Amino acid sequence: MLTVVKNQLKVMFLSIKYNIIRQMVNKKSFLFSVLLMFISNASFLVQWVVILSVTNDVSLSMKQILLVWGFAAVSFGYSQVLFAGSNNIPNYIINGKLDAYLVQPKNALLSVITSNTSASAVGDVLYGYVVTLIAIPSIKTFIFTTIFGLLGAIIYTAFIVILYSLIFFSINFKELSVTLARIPTSFATYPETIFSGAIKVMLYTIFPLGFIVYLPIKFMLQNNVLILGIVLLFAIFITLIAFIIFNIGLKRYSSTNLMGARV
């Protein structure tokens, strides 16, 4: 069992490695995409500088805003660098294009989610590290930004896999799944203190933004190791749920018999 898992992970990491190398073939285009994403993120942060200059809300601080942007950028960035293939799940299911992945010598879901990478997302990751290190400059910040960033990427990827797997059961779920998948990224750049009631509950349950951004921030500010354990356990839990739902849905998959090579 352990050998199988080890082999699956080895193939997965090789797939990610070659995807990134392929994106870097045209170095100028790659660096330009990274730079544009970095600048784009920085420009949005300016709005918070303006807001904080005119607000009297003591619950908001520049350090908090920087950490929100940092953990959000690193987590969502890593998800697109490592698992960008997950974005194609709706198209593969609806058009019957999973065949090429079903015949590969590794888990079908791992094959799909590691089939692509986003060059511009590297800019998100770099930007995230920069702003978290500005907020709390230390080696500890770098280490835990990496740990929580990778866990956040796994959680978000599992979340969208669960949503997109619903399309196996009905094509009518496509628009709803795609819309719901965008909600965490829409809320991710806002501090937790501005939310309350039902919305705050949803950000820790239906939409796992609390585990991707808000709990990591609390860890950095409170040094509570229990928070790291909670995020890790949730990442394992939601990943298992994603694999289970995807595999159940796969039994309802209708092939088009198009055995095209994976691109």
Model pLDDT for residues 108-119, shown as the tens digit of each residue: 898 899 888 888
Q: DSSP secondary structure string, 195-263?
A: --HHHHHHTTTTSTHIIIIIHHHHHHHH--HHHHHHHHHHHHHHHHHHHHHHHHHHTT-------PPP-
Helix intervals (H) in the chain: 2-23, 27-54, 62-83, 89-94, 99-102, 108-113, 121-135, 139-165, 173-187, 197-202, 209, 215-222, 225-250
The pLDDT of residue 157: 96
Confidence of residue 5 (pLDDT cuts 50, 70, 90): low
Q: Compute the average pLDDT of residues 233-261.
A: 82
Structure-token pair, residue 229:
């354990």
Task: Determine contact, residues 92/98, Cβ cutoff 8 Å.
Answer: yes
Q: Report pLDDT digits (tens) over 31-86.
A: 767 777 777 766 666 666 666 555 655 556 778 888 999 999 999 999 999 999 99
Q: Which of 52, 184, 60, 124 has its CA nearest to residue 132? A: 124
55: buried, middle or exposed (CB in 10 Å: 19+, 13-18, 0-12)? Answer: exposed
Confidence of residue 214 (pLDDT cuts 50, 70, 90): very high
Taking the model in full, what pTM does it have?
0.85
Q: Report pLDDT digits (tens) over 119-171.
A: 888 888 999 999 999 999 999 999 999 999 999 999 999 999 999 999 998 88
Structure-token pair, residue 44:
């949005």
pLDDT: which is higher, 230 or 197: 230
Q: Please, what is the angle between helix 62-83 and helix 215-222, to 10°?
A: 130
Confidence of residue 261 (pLDDT cuts 50, 70, 90): very low
Residue type, 192: E
Structure-token pair, residue 114:
């590691």
